[in-house]
Amino acid sequence: MNSPHLEKQAMRQTFRQRRAGLSSDVKDKADAEIAEHIGKLLIKSPNRRIAAYLASPQEVDLLPWFEIAWAAGQQVYVPVLSEIPGHMAFYCIGPKTPLQQGRFKLMEPSISASDIPATPSDLDVALIPLLAFDGQGHRLGMGGGYYDRYFAQAKHRPLMIGVGYQLQQAEHILPTEPWDINLSGVVTETGVRLFHS
């Protein structure tokens, strides 16, 4: 029987291919619908501090939601990958924050030595990219362990919301390992689904 680690590796290839099969028109429409769903989910608490991400080309683009969040007075934080492998920190950004290409060719804010990152416990909600999710709130990420490692140290863990497309839902329960952090919910173009812990 394969270990969860080996099962995950095989599944990553499958779900990468699924996601890559989306046409740009379908993706753009889904991204707009997802932004609207996230906005409705989080609008009730306009002062919340929300961790998000700057998308790679195949991930759900959250920029349409950023505009909604800033208009509602919410604080948006995005990750900056550390030189230490597997580690990252979240920094607050606004509409005029300069961006640059960081590790793995991911966009991230330009930060200075005086900029102070959020701690995991500072955040109320985390919008997390994924390759796959299941009906139990398990998430399959890219395999670097960045999010599991970052939020494992939180004294108070934020609401963990996975963001993806409906075709990324696994037909079966995903394999898990002891350090994997479950999602509180997931948002796709079809709507919001919250999981009971």
Where residue 21 falls (left for φ over 0; alpha for ψ -120 to 50; beta otherwise) is alpha
CB 96 within 8 A of CB 22: no
Q: Per residue in 131-188, pLDDT tens?
A: 999 999 999 888 778 898 898 877 788 999 999 999 999 999 998 887 888 999 999 9
The DSSP secondary-structure symbol of 118 reads B
SS3 143: coil
Question: Which of 102, 88, 80 is CA-nearest to residue 145?
Answer: 88
pLDDT score recorded for residue 23: 95
Q: Does pTM surpass 0.85?
A: yes
- Which domains does the chain possess? 4-194 (3.40.50.10420)
Residue 129 predicted with pLDDT over 60: yes
pLDDT at 11: 86
| pLDDT higher than 70, residue 46 | no
Is 10 a residue whose pLDDT tops 60?
yes
Residue 135 and residue 169 in contact, taking contact as beta carbons nearer than 8 Å:
yes
Secondary structure class of 148 (helix, strand, coil)? helix
Cα–Cα distances (Å) from 180 to 44, 52, 104, 168, in that order, read 29, 19, 22, 18
